[in-house]
Amino acid sequence: MAANDRAKQLHGSQHDAVMDETLEERLRRCALGLAWAMRPKRIAGMAPTLAMLAAYYLGGARKDIPLLSPDDALDYPDGLAGICPSLDPETLMRAYAVGLYPWCHVGPMKWWAPRERMALFFERFHMEKNLRRRLRNKHFRVTFDTDFVAVMQGCAELRPDRPHLTWITPNVMRAFLKLHELGHAHSVEVWDGEGALVGGLYGLAVGGVFFIESQFTRTRDASKVGFATLNCHLQQWGFALNDGKHPTGHLAQLGFELIPRGRFNTILSEHCDRSRFVEWPWRVDNGLDVGAWDPAAATTPQD
């Protein structure tokens, strides 16, 4: 059965669940996005960004803008590589395979390819003792590709004590739902003992590389349990790396490291073979004991 046909059976009404923003929500996001862009450490990047936007609109805001090479990305703002007028599946798959990804708070979506990427080689994944205990006591249940829309909505939801600014807009949700239905984008769901969704993440698989888009947690350690389960499976399935895009303390604690753009893109060229993918929808292998997983015991192809 074709991926589209399987998708219609499994996700029939999910498109209806992804709603447009209200005018008030859109205005709030734009205001917060402008405030974010005008912070002192980012304001120097406004001039080249505005110049790029002016060229785009003066050129008629065309939808067929060719992808730029990541090597042509700006140094400041770090990695800005052009306007992304289309989020269709074919464009997104080609872009990720060469090291570009879309991201934006305000205005048209933009392509990015920063000088360094936060990447995980699976044998370096750090399994802290508390995480192993969580995995062994089975307090959480983990699934793959069970409720993709709910995971995206969880990733986009308001975080306590933070302004509600998210790049996961309804347009982004619809684009990744299409990728999910085609078997390329995947979700990880973490459920508590009451059957409530308490954490998860979603991302895109291109050949042997997985690109994390976002993750969320509503209960302590829920996201870590889902993340460990995913990475254990990715290593078992022969993936080369997991891309976390931006450096954060959380990712560094889990074993991610910054690698130069050139090295990252070399790995992509070697492993983003679209003929390599796990049967969709992904399923958790109950024969894998993630709590006893030794990441360093298996080697992962690098460069």
User: Residue 5: pLDDT above 70?
Assistant: no
3-state secondary structure of 189: strand
User: Residue 245: pLDDT above 80?
Assistant: yes
Q: For the ranges 53-62, 69-78, 122-131, which has the lowest average pLDDT?
A: 53-62
Question: In the predicted model, what is the mean pLDDT of residues 34-39?
Answer: 58
Q: What is the pLDDT of residue 146?
A: 97
Question: In the predicted model, what is the mean pLDDT of residues 69-88?
Answer: 93
Question: In the predicted model, what is the mean pLDDT of residues 267-287?
Answer: 88
Task: Find, among 169, 201, 39, the residue nearest to 104 by Cα.
Answer: 169
Q: For the ranges 153-167, 217-231, 261-275, which has the lowest average pLDDT?
A: 153-167
Q: What is the pTM of this model?
A: 0.87
Q: What is the pLDDT of residue 9?
A: 46
User: Residue 104: pLDDT above 70?
Assistant: yes
Helix (H), strand (E) at residue 268:
helix 261-271
Q: What is the pLDDT of residue 33?
A: 55
3-state secondary structure of 212: strand
- Burial grade of 100 (CB within 10 A; 0-12, 13-18, 19 or more): buried
Helix (H), strand (E) at residue 279:
none
Domains of the chain plus CATH, in order, are 3-114 (3.30.70.3550), 118-297 (3.40.630.70)
User: Residue 224: pLDDT above 80?
Assistant: yes
Contact 286, 142 (CB under 8 A): no
Question: In the predicted model, what is the mean pLDDT of residues 277-281?
Answer: 85
